[in-house]
Copies of this chain bind each other. A is one copy, B any other.
Amino acid sequence: MAADRPTGKTLAGEAYERIRGAIQDGRLRPGDRMRFSDLQALCTMSVTPVREALARLTAEGFTVLDDHRGFSVAPLSLSELRDITANRKLCEGEALRLSIERGDGQWEARLVAAHHLLARVPQGRDDMPSVIRDDWDERHAAFHRALISACGSPILLDTCLRLFGHAGRYRRVSVSLSGRRRDADAEHRQLMDLALARDGAGAVAALHAHYQGTADALEAFFDGRNA
């Protein structure tokens, strides 16, 4: 499918995507130390591009670097989960407000299309094949991206996407805890409806509730795990 060397793209870029993928889907777990020998085996390339990929990932907060002790996957913590949630409320909330204020017909079309695709995939459960679950993750991200895509601020958009990616690491940890997100579908539909109705305040409130709900579920999961 992908040619051996999709010309115009660099090896370091591929290493970045591959390692980030491994982190986000849990193949590399939080706190794990990342040896270059393993990473070279995973990426099938020399150390230089891998190092460049890790530098980028570190700048984005997915990995941490101890000088002369190498890289490791950024650890997860309750305090960071709370921090991410608070920042998502702030940034994605504002981005959604702006999108509703500024979005045109094209934006509405993108939103409806993304929701349609999301609704057609069964809700994520632990017993579903990972291929389908990955598909749901991708469409889920696309839906949230569509929601805020008309905000008109590239910087804000970038911040939101970064936060979404970080939140995804927590989401994935608790994916084995099924049933807890029973109403995600309904919440997504409600978000779309409020956005299309141009109800900015209502949509932002719903988004806050959506994020707080997922955060609470995750927090309960973590508490149960530590006890």
By the criterion CB–CB under 8 Å, are A83 and B52 in contact?
A: no
By the criterion CB–CB under 8 Å, are B59 and A8 in contact?
A: no
Within 8 A of B (CB), among A188-225: none
Contacts of A48 in B (CB 8 A): 48, 51
A31 within 8 A of B: no
By the criterion CB–CB under 8 Å, are A67 and B13 in contact?
A: yes
Q: A8-B68, A48-B51 are in contact. List 15 more A-B contacts (CB 8 A).
A: A10-B67, A10-B68, A13-B67, A51-B52, A52-B52, A52-B55, A56-B59, A59-B60, A80-B155, A83-B156, A84-B155, A87-B153, A91-B91, A155-B163, A159-B159
Within 8 A of B (CB), among A14-66: 48, 51-53, 55-56, 58-61
A154 within 8 A of B: yes
A109 within 8 A of B: no
Contacts of A56 in B (CB 8 A): 55-56, 58-59
Contacts of A59 in B (CB 8 A): 55-56, 59-60
Instruction: Return 23 A-B CB contacts under 8 Å, by A number.
Output: A8-B67, A9-B67, A12-B55, A13-B67, A48-B51, A51-B52, A52-B52, A55-B55, A55-B56, A56-B59, A59-B59, A59-B60, A83-B153, A83-B155, A86-B153, A87-B155, A87-B156, A87-B159, A90-B94, A90-B156, A91-B91, A155-B163, A159-B159
Report Cα–Cα, A8/B69, bound state, in Å: 10
Residue of B nearest to A153 (CB): B83
Q: How many of these chains are in the complex? A: 2
| Chain A window 74-108, contacts with chain B (Cβ cutoff 8 Å), 1 for yes, 0 for no | 00000010011011001100100000000000000
- Say what secondary structure dominates the interface of chain A: helix
Report Cα–Cα, A60/B59, bound state, in Å: 7
Within 8 A of B (CB), among A135-168: 153-156, 158-159, 163
